[in-house]
A and B are shown apart, each in its own frame.
Chain A
């Protein structure tokens, strides 16, 4: 698939792409480099940093990040290249001819140490009061290079006001080292373009348009910048104190729901390798902390699929069977609050393509403060709902003014994986050693389909399992081996799949009132697509607007973060492609162990539709509680 390159990073921040030969054996394909005493051959165009990694030689870095284009600005990774007068940034130097490199010469050591001294001289704050204490790249480098004083002074007063204007992201530029990682994340990885360097020289700071607070610009709160910040300059807006207060308040019934991605990643906060699932351990720890109930967001994910899947079928029915041209297709998923805000800012004309279904987090909140409150006999005003999410935008979502359909704030607090790990540590708990326990009833069961929401393609797969069974009356296992819809899985930025509907059955009773039959769907090829990262989302949306291939899709899943929720802005730091893959593997592996793997087969889902949402999906009640509407925000935000 060919897309026009609309990459927004300036060339200065892109790696020089030297054509790397397909076959390294051809003449000139491999180049011999000597690093210190070691000789090795690397493919043409390999950076010095990559070559050193290959040779097992450690090079310190700060502005470099595997996910991002190159900046070459921190100058920590400099090395000596024979024949060159100045030192070269190893992250930015492509090897195109044989070179001799020294990585620890006196010049290199002097430059690295001095650069660190300079960075630290301008870095405000004390490590022990920093959210990134013990997980800070500047701190690590200072230790590595034996920084033992402030030869060039140390800033003692903050220069900038902290921007905590949003419920999602806090920016403290006093800790910024101008590595431009957040800028490159925003402009190049995500192509949102909220952050940039302002002013110049020693006054250079990273900021927004007109240096406005974050709530006045088009930030979608994805938090990818947080994940890539090497210091504590960026972090999520932390509600831990309020949550502790609620826990300590005996009149409050404090409920926590946990999304699928945090459980696959929280182990990293406790030193475990990426890809270690701690679902049961986390449940126990949450009870020990003092939460009154521990529920599984996956139940709400199942509920989302019931509503969103039915909505899709109903849209298709109205358009294809009834010829209603006012129906907007493709339907976009709406469970990602970053993506929703992205549409509201950049493509408000496509707002009606977004499914009206709330995200699982918000659906759960509405259910908890109505259905659950009734069942448990608790006044909803005494219920405090907390959601553990891999996400910073979820904090914004739960604070959206329209998210109070229960008559109360659906979800009171959004908590990131990192913040939950912090709470667990504060409670004196070492998570990996906790005994396992189950989620609480009445929402103790969840399907595997809900679990895979955490990975890119998961919502699509969950929806397809349910929708295809509803339409065909055929077991999904008969269509896709082991119910694994592999065409929508994977990490490719944009994926596309076609599923021909060759056979239709009777609509299940639950939706028969809405859709009397499926005959009109026979012979239709269902076209679906999946994208992750807003840069890829942008490509899809632009393609739709230009009437391209994706405008013919029926359903498109989009997640704002690379990798989907498991790579979200609230997940443990660091993140990179390898870590995201490990987390995905953990999620998919856990899914295989579950008995129920389709949303509509979850007994608790069947129960809620027979006892509470008795009119079925898309009914008046579910519209009131489980669906929402969107805001035309536009790109210009005048307050």
Chain B
């Protein structure tokens, strides 16, 4: 049926089987399998799912929430769209399982505004699950109630940050909260809340069916299992691939059929840009961590053009509440534009690296903490091209 191939997520799966398995297990057993699997959050931060679920399960509250973060906004990332479009059963069964483990009755799919075309088919799919008693009251006769609502985002990149997402759900401006407290204790409407990435949740049914130990056999020492990567840019075969953690950039590029290369941006706009000399590096939390975006640049590309594009994006998408991000991104963009005109010598870069460091250290949320990444990595890795152009 499905045209994709992969070792885990893109492998054969019978809808409903993961959820049925979940209800055969106790909550503790599920947490044990997840802990054994060493599955980490696939949104980018890599927080262990077992710990997150355990903390929320342990939090005392009359109400808890499980949110699936489908606000897939990182430029160059489109793997969640594929999952929701082609494997919704994995995502939703993962959500029900999470709700069961943490003791939530309400699940929310926070769907990226630009994915509104998926809304009706996803709602239809949920309706189907309700009919099969995989969702709603007394799921599979196990006495557990859980339902899923879909909330459409309104186009702000920052709402992919979990606390900004929660603010947005509550009807406020999409702005990150101070952390601590973390959502696991004080989340949506102040209640304990799990926010998981689409891919993380989609992995859960497979782990339950085949076991945490089986899952942990894939990948590297600190990065278990597989990762969906969205490959785009200058290549023959762009698309979504399921790869084992530990794959090198060079191997990825071969998969994608990329030639005559200059650079690869790993992790989307907020990721880092590497040159050819680093193509031997591995995709892994311990080396090149990524939420899944791989953007390929060939030798025809001007890296400052690419950087300008990234920085324009961050200037546009900063929520504007904290100083380093609101003003810092503007200053970095101005610097890029000056560099394009040859207006800044390499020796004049210190204050911009200081600024980038400040943004990483002092921004309130992940947006401002990571937006200097492309600036620093491109300016450092392509300094010859930028500062010593031979016309």
Contacts and interface: CB of A to CB of B under 8 A. Distances in A.
Interface string B187-219: 000100000000000000000000000000000
A118 B331 contact: yes
Contact of B320 (A92, A93, A118, A203): A203
Nearest to B314: A201
B328 interface: yes
B321 A180 contact: yes
A11 B186 contact: yes
Smallest CB-CB A-B distances: 4 pairs? A204-B320, A114-B358, A92-B178, A12-B177
Contacts of B354: 110, 114
Given A200-B173, A201-B326, 16 more contacts: A11-B177, A16-B186, A72-B178, A72-B322, A74-B322, A86-B362, A93-B180, A94-B181, A115-B362, A118-B327, A121-B331, A197-B173, A197-B320, A197-B321, A200-B318, A202-B330
Nearest to A179: B323
Interface in B286-335: 315-324, 326-331, 334
Interface string A60-87: 0000000000111111101000000011
B82 interface: no
B344 to A, nearest CB: 13
B232 interface: no
Nearest to B177: A12
Given A11-B167, A201-B316, A115 B351 contact: no
Given A10-B167, A11-B167, A96 B319 contact: no
For B167, B177, B328, the residue with the greatest tally of chain A CB atoms inside 10 Å of its CB is B177
Contact size range, B: 35 or more
Contacts of A119: 323, 327
Interface in B86-139: none
Interface of A: 10-12, 16, 70-76, 78, 86-87, 89, 92-94, 96, 107, 110-111, 114-115, 118-119, 121-122, 151-153, 177-178, 180, 197, 199-204
B286 to A, nearest CB: 15
A72 B361 contact: no
B275 interface: no
A145 to B, nearest CB: 13
A8 to B, nearest CB: 10
Contacts of A199: 320
A295 B255 CA distance: 88
B265 interface: no
Contacts of A78: 361-362
A577 to B, nearest CB: 23
6 contacts: A11-B170, A73-B321, A75-B322, A114-B362, A121-B331, A153-B334
B362 A202 contact: no
Contact of A202 (B166, B172, B175, B320): B320
A201 B323 contact: no
For B327, B328, B369, the residue with the greatest tally of chain A CB atoms inside 10 Å of its CB is B327
B358 A110 contact: yes
B323 A118 contact: yes
B192 to A, nearest CB: 13
Interface in B147-191: 156, 163, 166-167, 170, 172-173, 175-178, 180-181, 186, 190
B362 to A, nearest CB: 4
Contacts, number: 131
Secondary structure type dominating chain A contacts: loop
B173 to A, nearest CB: 6
B323 A72 contact: no
B357 interface: yes
Contacts of A89: 178, 364
Given A114-B354, A118-B331, A10 B170 contact: yes
Contacts of A197: 173, 320-321
Contacts of A114: 324, 354-355, 358, 362
B185 to A, nearest CB: 9
A12 B173 CA distance: 10
A201 B317 contact: yes
B321 A115 contact: no
B318 A118 contact: no
Contacts of B177: 11-12
B227 interface: no
Nearest to B328: A118
A73 B176 CA distance: 10
A75 B323 contact: yes
Contacts of A16: 178, 180-181, 186
Given A110-B354, A119-B327, A12 B176 contact: yes
Interface in B351-368: 351, 354-355, 357-358, 360-364
B320 A178 contact: yes
A295 B162 CA distance: 60
B362 A75 contact: yes
A94 B324 CA distance: 22
B322 A73 contact: yes
A94 B322 contact: no
Nearest to B156: A200
A428 to B, nearest CB: 40
A94 B181 CA distance: 8
A115 B323 contact: yes
For A10, A11, A16, A111, the residue with the greatest tally of chain B CB atoms inside 10 Å of its CB is A11
A12 B323 contact: no
A70 B321 contact: no
Given A75-B324, A114-B324, A118-B324, A87 B172 contact: no
Contacts of B362: 75, 78, 86-87, 111, 114-115
For A76, A110, A152, the residue with the greatest tally of chain B CB atoms inside 10 Å of its CB is A152
A111 B364 CA distance: 12
Interface string B26-60: 00000000000000000000000000000000000
For B173, B176, B358, B369, the residue with the greatest tally of chain A CB atoms inside 10 Å of its CB is B358
Contacts of A73: 321-323, 364
A111 B351 contact: no
A111 B321 contact: no
A120 to B, nearest CB: 10
A115 B320 contact: no
Given A151-B351, A152-B351, A202 B323 contact: no
A107 B329 CA distance: 19
A76 B369 CA distance: 16
Interface in B337-391: 351, 354-355, 357-358, 360-364, 369
B70 to A, nearest CB: 21
Contact of B163 (A12, A115, A153, A180): A12
Given A118-B323, A201-B317, A202-B320, A94 B328 contact: no
B314 to A, nearest CB: 8
For A10, A114, A121, the residue with the greatest tally of chain B CB atoms inside 10 Å of its CB is A114
Contacts of B176: 12
Contact of A74 (B317, B318, B323): B323
A180 B329 CA distance: 20
B364 A202 contact: no
B178 A122 contact: no
Contact of A121 (B321, B327, B360): B327
Contacts of A71: 321
A14 B180 CA distance: 12
A456 to B, nearest CB: 31
A10 B321 CA distance: 13
Contact of A10 (B172, B318, B323, B329): B172
A396 to B, nearest CB: 30
A11 B315 contact: no
A200 B320 contact: yes
A115 B326 CA distance: 11
A12 B358 contact: no
For B170, B321, B334, the residue with the greatest tally of chain A CB atoms inside 10 Å of its CB is B321
A151 B334 CA distance: 13
Contacts of A76: 323
Contacts of B330: 202
Nearest to B181: A16
Nearest to A93: B180
